[in-house]
């Protein structure tokens, strides 16, 4: 289990004349005289940011790393300068760590004092994540600003990060007051994550900080500080051993995003999210699916936006918490759901189906990993087999129409949909991929792609010859029940051993069966009876409100969930299983095996694939990246036997 991301201890503040002070460190968060002026002098001018922003090429990417997010003042100053000075098609990645993040109310109070950043600050506070440990990826200003907030100790956070920083803001409380952060191991991580020539600036001029950075390959100098502070430090990364005096500042070169043509095989949740993530980064995307949008396992009338809270910070549990929050951010920034036919984010009730489920819920509530803003106990009377006060509420969850969500994501000028089956996939001579289709008619440039993402669930195994993938198909049937006068008032989705959603277009979803033995898609009246029996058993009042024995079943739908043997999706580059040194197949990626959690798991997987394709900062930590990597099954198998044959 990872110890990098323990429960969060929020910042404790003492407000003095509208300046937040950290009593634990006896240090203000920003200058009492003029906070924005201090930031501009120390970090923006210290890194020559306005000059570098103006010189960026088309489709450029600039990455800033920061130790100590605090009130977000440094971020707001840098982001505003980027919006003012950088080309309109450039992207700023801002990666910041914070061990003791401000609560939402304190953040809102702090940013009110900087009207120059009102628009950015309003967006930041609207999307500021709940105080859960780990990575939080926020897309702001129409995607021009990408903020990755890591709530963790600075050293642990940077050690789990994969990025190449163009500039560093070394902030945080003064070394004399916060010596645990300013240590050689931190300087080593700064060097590991720095692009050649990356700049660095910090308010401190402490000698051990300067010497520590020099020892890791930074050329450092003292320059005039801000206000009453006589000196500060600036420098750049040369990679040279300590003692070698290299002052060449031309080492740094701006980078442009990679763009090209991507083919996405599959138009369900996995394919739609991958397509949108790549299109938002400038890729031209062709989505291929013979059945059209969300007509496989993603095609149910309604699905629940939820996760199963856990007290244990394993990579698997952290992925499901992180991906749940990531999906909530995607839904918020896309304005979805926008109407009752698309669903509503009105909270999800989870009743324990068994005593052990209640114990797990209680442990999650007490763990510190799930703040009250996300998770609370259901108080008062509950029904069915549960006792009074049992059950939890995921306050930000809800239910949506997966087909409508997929269609919304695919509605982008760089995305085209072709209702064609891909029958063959082969590497092309130029490093891309050739796709074979049903016919030789005009394929709208889909015959060749620079990269391919397999998002077609279990079919990926046969299409790409990936027979080593340990996948299983689980048949599920959902029952559509006609809404009644009594049920029309329901506003929250409910999970028990199955689930029940409020009505969409006059129909409630009651489901779903779980069958490993059958793989047919024929609807079965017995499955409807099973779904309604489970509803009667766990939620008898809801069952009666639907009509009880006279409930009107207006339809049903069968889908095959694709799941891996370790219950995590497979997201990342596809490995060459026949290659003993172990390499990836260039330009081939996958996002499959989301099981019954495709709504909540697919967005983070899509962001990860887009980051890998474009060599951008990862949206999650290295443990989760490894836990999702398709190659994990090859590596596990090779550990069991000397020679593994796929």
Q: Is residue 358 part of a domain?
A: no
When divided into structural domains, the chain yields a total of 3
Domain match, 512 and 547 both:
yes
Q: Is residue 131 located within the same domain as residue 266?
A: no
More confident residue, 284 or 634: 284
Residues 453 and 549 grouped into a single domain? no
What average pLDDT does the structure give for the chain?
A: 91
Residue 392 resides in a domain: no
- Which residue range is the domain that position 528 belongs to? 471-564
The HSE-up count of residue 208 (CA atoms within 13 Å, CB side) is 9
Say if CB 193 and CB 65 are below 8 A apart.
Answer: yes
Average pLDDT of the residues in 451-477:
93
- Residue 646 is predicted with a pLDDT of 29
The token pair at 99 is: 């061990």
User: E strands along 252-346, which residues?
Assistant: 255-256, 261-265, 284-288, 303-305, 343-344
CB 478 within 8 A of CB 524: no
| Residue spans of beta strands (DSSP E) within 428-564 | 433-437, 448-449, 451-454, 471-482, 493-495, 499-500, 507-511, 553-564
518 and 623 share a domain? no
**Residues 445 and 501 occupy one common structural domain:** no
Confidence of residue 644 (pLDDT cuts 50, 70, 90): very low
The residue written with tokens 């396992």 in the block is: 297
476 neighbors 517 (Cβ within 8 angstroms): no
- Chain segment 17-35, per-residue pLDDT in tens: 778 888 877 777 787 778 8
CB-CB contact of 50 with 62 (8 Å): no
Kindly tell me the sign of the dihedral angle through the C-alpha atoms of 512, 515, 516, 521.
negative
**What pLDDT does 272 receive?**
98
CA–CA separation, 294 vs 288, rounded Å?
12
Distance CA 353, CA 508 (A): 20
pLDDT at 20: 85
635 occurs within a structural domain: yes
The torsion angles phi and psi of 36, rounded to 5 degrees, stand at -60, -35
For residue 439, pLDDT over 70 is answered with: no
pLDDT 10s digits, 64-84? 999 999 999 999 999 999 999
544 lies in the same domain as 422: no
Is residue 306 situated within a structural domain?
no
Instruction: Say yes or no to pLDDT of 445 above 80.
Output: no
User: Do the domain assignments include residue 12?
Assistant: no
Q: Which structure tokens are listed for 608?
A: 């990860």
The enclosing domain of 559 has a CATH number of 3.30.9.10
With cut-offs at 50, 70 and 90, classify the pLDDT of residue 227. Answer: confident
pLDDT tens digits, 163-198? 999 999 998 777 777 888 899 999 999 999 999 999
Instruction: Clarify whether residues 287 and 163 are in a common domain.
Output: no
Q: Please indicate, yes or no, whether residues 448 and 480 belong to a single structural domain of this protein.
A: no
Structural domain contains residue 60: yes
Same domain, 626 and 517: no
Choosing from 184, 218, 248, the residue where a domain stops is 248
One domain for residues 577 and 454: yes
Question: Is residue 172 one of the residues assigned to a domain?
Answer: yes
- Give the Cα separation of 580 and 569 in Å (integer): 24
163: domain CATH number is 3.40.50.150
Q: Are residues 537 and 579 in the same domain?
A: no
Q: What is the CA radius of gyration of the chain?
A: 26
Flag whether 401 is in a domain.
no
Per-residue pLDDT tens over the stretch 47-58: 999 999 999 999
Q: What angle separates helix 598-614 from helix 269-279, to the nearest 10 degrees?
A: 40
Instruction: Tell me how far apart the alpha carbons of residues 27 and 635 are, in angstroms, rounded to a whole number.
Output: 48
Q: Are residues 134 and 271 in the same domain?
A: no
- Report how far apart the first and last C-alpha atoms of the chain are (Å, whole number): 30
pTM given for the model = 0.94
Q: Give the pLDDT confidence score for residue 380 in this predicted structure.
A: 59
pLDDT at 431 (0 to 100): 86
For 387-446, the three-class secondary structure string (H helix, E strand, C coil) is: CCCCCEEECCCEEECHHHHHHHHHCCCCEEEECCCEEEEEECCCCCEEEEECCCCCCCCC
- Tens of pLDDT, residue by residue over 366-418, are 999 999 999 999 975 555 444 344 899 999 999 999 999 999 999 999 999 99
| Cβ–Cβ < 8 Å for 333, 408 | no
Predicted local distance difference test score (pLDDT) of residue 347: 97
Give the confidence band of 114 by pLDDT, cuts at 50, 70, 90: very high
């Amino acid at each position: 289990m990872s110890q990098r991301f323990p429960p969060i201890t929020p910042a404790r503040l003492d407000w003095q004349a509208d300046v937040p002070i950290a009593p634990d460190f006896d240090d203000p968060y920003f200058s009492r005289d003029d906070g924005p002026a201090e930031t501009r002098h120390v970090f923006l001018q210290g890194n020559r940011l306005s000059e570098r922003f103006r010189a960026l090429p088309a489709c450029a990417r600039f990455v800033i790393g920061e130790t100590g997010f605090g009130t977000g003042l440094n971020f707001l100053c840098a982001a505003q300068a980027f919006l003012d000075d950088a080309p309109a098609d450039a992207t700023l990645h801002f990666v910041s760590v914070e061990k003791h993040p401000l609560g939402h109310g304190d953040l809102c109070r702090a940013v009110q004092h900087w009207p120059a950043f009102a628009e950015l600050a309003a967006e930041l506070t609207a999307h500021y994540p709940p105080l859960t440990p780990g990575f939080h990826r926020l897309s702001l200003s129409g995607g021009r600003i990408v903020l990755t907030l890591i709530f963790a100790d600075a050293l642990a956070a940077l050690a789990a990060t994969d990025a190449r920083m163009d500039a560093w803001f070394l902030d945080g409380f003064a070394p004399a007051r916060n010596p645990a952060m300013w240590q050689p191991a931190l300087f080593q991580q700064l060097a590991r994550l720095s692009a050649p020539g990356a700049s660095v600036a910090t308010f401190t001029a402490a000698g051990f900080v300067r010497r520590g950075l020099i020892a890791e390959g930074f050329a450092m100098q003292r320059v005039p500080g801000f206000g009453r502070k006589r000196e500060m430090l600036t420098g750049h990364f040369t990679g040279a051993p300590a003692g070698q005096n290299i002052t060449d500042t031309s080492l740094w070169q701006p980078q442009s995003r990679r763009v090209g043509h991507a083919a996405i095989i599959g138009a369900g949740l996995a394919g739609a999210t991958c397509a949108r993530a790549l299109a938002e980064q400038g890729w031209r995307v062709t989505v291929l699916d013979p059945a059209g949008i969300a007509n496989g396992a993603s095609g149910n009338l309604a699905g629940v936006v939820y996760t199963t809270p856990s007290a244990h910070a394993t990579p698997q549990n952290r992925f499901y918490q992180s991906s749940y929050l990531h999906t909530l951010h995607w839904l918020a920034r896309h304005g979805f759901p926008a109407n009752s036919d698309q669903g509503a984010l009105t909270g999800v009730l989870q009743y324990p189906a068994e005593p052990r489920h209640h114990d797990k819920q209680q442990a999650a509530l007490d763990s510190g990993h799930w703040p009250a803003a996300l998770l609370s106990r259901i108080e008062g009377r509950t029904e069915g087999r549960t006792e009074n006060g049992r059950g939890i509420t995921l306050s930000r969850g809800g239910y949506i129409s997966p087909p409508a969500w997929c269609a919304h994501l695919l509605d982008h000028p760089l995305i085209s949909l072709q209702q064609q089956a891909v029958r063959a996939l082969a590497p092309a001579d130029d490093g891309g991929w050739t796709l074979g289709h049903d016919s030789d008619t005009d394929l709208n440039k889909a015959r060749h792609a620079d990269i391919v993402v397999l998002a077609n669930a279990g079919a990926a195994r046969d299409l790409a010859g990936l027979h080593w993938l340990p996948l299983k198909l689980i048949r599920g049937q959902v029952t559509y029940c006609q809404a009644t006068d009594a049920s029309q008032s329901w506003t929250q989705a409910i999970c028990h051993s199955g689930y029940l959603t409020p009505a969409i277009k006059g129909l409630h979803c009651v489901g779903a069966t779980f069958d490993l033995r059958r793989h047919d898609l024929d609807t079965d009246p017995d499955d409807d009876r099973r779904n309604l029996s489970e509803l009667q058993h766990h939620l008898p009042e809801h069952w009666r409100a639907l009509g009880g024995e006279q409930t009107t079943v207006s339809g049903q739908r069968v889908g095959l969930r694709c799941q891996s043997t370790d219950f995590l999706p497979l997201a990342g580059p596809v490995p060459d299983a026949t290659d003993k040194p172990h390499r990836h197949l260039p330009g081939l990626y996958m996002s499959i095996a989301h099981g019954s959690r495709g709504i909540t798991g697919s967005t983070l997987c899509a962001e990860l694939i887009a980051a890998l394709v474009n060599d951008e900062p990862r949206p999650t930590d290295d443990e989760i990246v490894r836990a999702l990597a398709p190659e994990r099954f090859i590596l596990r198998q090779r550990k069991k036997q000397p020679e593994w044959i796929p």
